[in-house]
Amino acid sequence: MGDAGRQKKGSYQPVGRALVGLLALLACVVAAAAPAAAQKRVALVIGNAAYKSVPLANPVNDAGRIAAALTHVGFDVVQANDLSLADMRRAFATFAGRLTGDDTVALFYYAGHGVQLNGQNYLLPVDGTFKSEADIRLAGIRLDEILQAMRPEKSRLSIAILDACRDNPFPAVTRSIRRGLAPVNAPAGTLIAYSTAPGHVALDGVGGLSPYAKAFATALGRPGLTIEDVFKTTRLAVMQDTGGQQVPWEHSSLIGRFVFQEGAANRPTGWEPITQSARPILPVANPVPDARALYRDFLIHEEGRGVSRNPETAADRLLAAYKAGDRQAEAMLFRSYRRLRMATRRAIQRRLSAAGHDPGVADGFFGRRTRRALEAYGR
């Protein structure tokens, strides 16, 4: 009886080991799935179109399309349209309150009027009357306020997307407003995406959607693409859609890997990965399509040839010509920079800093730090 008992007990041991192994395997599966399950995806999507003096056609449609695409990939989306200044501030405050730290991915998408003023980007509510620089400062919302609300301690990953770079909609403040939006340094763990390159303008498109909204929403629907590949795919589609007139741009300080929609990589026809070291592609049908034209445009704005002198635009064009490989631009920056107006030199240093390269104080003196920053910028 005792032997029979021992034998019976022994006969159950393999089953016990299998059960233990199965439980251990299940525990590993649950542990592996826990981060994805616990990840909180929060999005605020705003489309401002009903401006008093300069209404827009597409932003509400753009916001709706993006909101639907984000919902499809697991974001808890709040969409709001045609917001006043007070409503925009309330929306941002509510959005910030939903961000809870390391488990959160935060995404903000804005379609509407946006302008740059003295290097700061402002998103404009629909109820503002913008007749002066002061009006924009008081009745616009600075981009850096939004980025502050999405700071690293509030979210593990922050994404800000600005489909807002139209031509200056307020001629009364033409002297103050610069063309397009200004480049901005992305805080750690942040990606800032512009629907077109800094200093350039975005197109409205046809069919009720902006080229950027259409391309980004489509890219979001492709399983397996990393966040970087989603934005590269978007850029390629926008360039193809606009004949090279519009080139989306991002500034990223992301750490780690993020995929909007898991699955086998589903890349569009003609998609090729772009290395991080690859230089940005210039528009093929842009008013300044090549390095020589960029340099000529720099001279026009630096010297005031038929236009008012504009150090901000001159700095943009000179840096773009240098990055595109123009030898005269390189010589101007490294050997003959003293020929540049002081305001242009300082604007160049500010842009180097905004691009993540440290030129030191924007004092107009191109010393060793500025030269190193220029070398890094041109790589």
Backbone angles phi, psi at 351, to 5 degrees: -70, -35
Residues 156 and 297 in one domain: no
6 domain residue, yes or no? no
Torsion angles phi and psi, residue 127, rounded to 5 = -95, 5
Is the per-residue pLDDT at 25 higher than 60? no
- Determine how β-strand 177-178 pairs with β-strand 114-117: antiparallel
Residues 162-209: pLDDT tens digits?
998 655 555 555 444 555 676 676 777 899 999 987 666 677 666 788
* The 120-123 sheet, strands edge to edge: 141-142, 120-123, 114-117, 177-178
Do 204 and 64 lie in one domain? The reply is yes
pTM metric for this prediction:
0.63
- The CATH number of whichever domain residue 206 belongs to comes to 3.40.50.1460
pLDDT, average across residues 16-34: 42
Expressed as residue numbers, the domain containing 347 is 291-378
Chain segment 199-245, per-residue pLDDT in tens? 666 776 667 889 999 999 999 999 999 999 999 999 999 988 888 78
Q: Is residue 335 part of a domain?
A: yes
Q: Is residue 231 part of a domain?
A: yes
- How many folded domains does the chain comprise? 2
What is the rounded end-to-end Cα distance, in angstroms, of the chain?
A: 84
What is the per-residue pLDDT for 77?
Answer: 96
Residues 222 and 354 in one domain: no
Flag whether pLDDT at 105 surpasses 90.
yes
Asked if 122 and 189 sit in the same domain, the reply is: yes
- Which residue type is seen at 279? R
Same domain for 77 and 160:
yes
- Is there a single domain that holds both residue 193 and residue 339? no
Q: Which residue has the higher pLDDT, 36 or 167?
A: 167
